[in-house]
Structure 1
């Protein structure tokens, strides 16, 4: 029987220190945000160094929002990421063009599921992630409302923290979970105790 425990992505990594901290806690993937509007913006050079510090077993995901194809591909190459996470209104051709070079996490809001959800359901190299309308804002989705429509094999983000991630997993059974704001001491700086508690809440069976 497959392991039902979802993979763990710690996003908003901005330093080698925090990359190592998250990897040692048990994260399967790190997110590096390259969207200029983000409080957690990181340079490709720092992201590359942070990724190299944790080794190839930990996935390194570049996060992009409203950036052109050339910029996405140049930044991803410079940062040595292993996947690209794409936010915002994007054409099918754009997503497929990125997927020619990197595995893609296509991020949708619940309102997008009717129009775009089925489009990527069975496309090789593209995995869906469901996130809140304001990514990184710390507000969770209504998991019960999504119980019937959550795409099989999708990743889940949006307001997840040590105190609620187990319930989100119980309701939606995501393939992976992604957290940012509730794992920080301040924007862009990870809190080791919160990261450890988040991983433990996912990997420690409830009694």
Structure 2
């Protein structure tokens, strides 16, 4: 995959701060050391952001930080139009999408294909040889703040995959040590309220990741 986090690699997992809804939160996360920011365009999300605000946030952090547009069961035209308008550099796809759809998006953007733990195995193998698609393992209810059982994933977690699901400053070190993900993604545990980041929690999360050896 064309790397959606173009920073110089760190000795441990990279960091994506998702659910960004304002320029202020984007700038604070980037200054704290985030490698990537997630902008959620799924209409059902409490963290829905408009393409206009996401574009302003993208321009405020510059190209050194990846900007990932998050979509759920949305059409190809909508995904591509929104990602372009918002100046996204990668696209994250949730939902029961066809492989053909994912490949179509991957013709235009690096794709993070989100799988639940129950979907690993054969579903993960589909994308093992596709360089424009990277897997992310997330909880059945994304953004719900419930951690996954990392020990149960030890044998099936794909090499090079990203990890989400209830990660926060107090537990991300354990997740990294067990699964060695390429990137960790946090949302709900870093908020003052849904859609608004707590800068202290963001900084603590980033510090915990940077201090952890895989």
Alpha-carbon RMSD across the aligned residues, in angstroms, is 1.1
Q: What is the distance in 2 between the residues matched to 1:55 and 1:193?
A: 23
Displacement of 1:116 after TM fit?
1.1
Q: Normalized against structure 2, the TM-score is what?
A: 0.94
Is residue 4 of structure 2 the alignment partner of residue 11 of structure 1?
Answer: no
What is aligned with 1:149?
156
Is residue 211 of structure 2 the alignment partner of residue 196 of structure 1?
Answer: no
**Can you list the C-alpha shifts for 1:81-103, whole angstroms capped at 9, x where unaligned?**
00000000010100000000000
Q: How does 1:112-191 map to 2 (within 5 A)?
A: 112-191=119-198
Displacement of 1:3 after TM fit?
4.9
Is residue 28 of structure 2 the alignment partner of residue 21 of structure 1?
Answer: yes
2:50 equivalent among 15, 22, 43: 43
Q: Normalized against structure 1, the TM-score is what?
A: 0.97
Displacement of 1:205 after TM fit?
4.5
Q: What is the distance in 1 between the residues matched to 2:199 and 2:172?
A: 17
Q: What is the distance in 2 between the residues matched to 1:130 and 1:205?
A: 20
Q: What is the distance in 2 between the residues matched to 1:166 and 1:148?
A: 19
Q: What is the distance in 1 between the residues matched to 2:24 and 2:158?
A: 34
Is residue 85 of structure 2 the alignment partner of residue 78 of structure 1?
Answer: yes
- Runs of 4+ with >4 A deviation: none
Displacement of 1:121 after TM fit?
1.4
The DSSP-based 3-state class of the residue aligned with 1:196 is helix
**Can you list the C-alpha shifts for 1:130-177, whole angstroms capped at 9, x where unaligned?**
000000000011000000110000000000000000000000000000
Task: Check the 8 A contact 2:173/2:212 in 1, yes or no.
Answer: no
What is aligned with 1:33?
40
The DSSP-based 3-state class of the residue aligned with 1:129 is strand
Displacement of 1:124 after TM fit?
1.1
**Can you list the C-alpha shifts for 1:55-80, whole angstroms capped at 9, x where unaligned?**
10000000000100010011011101
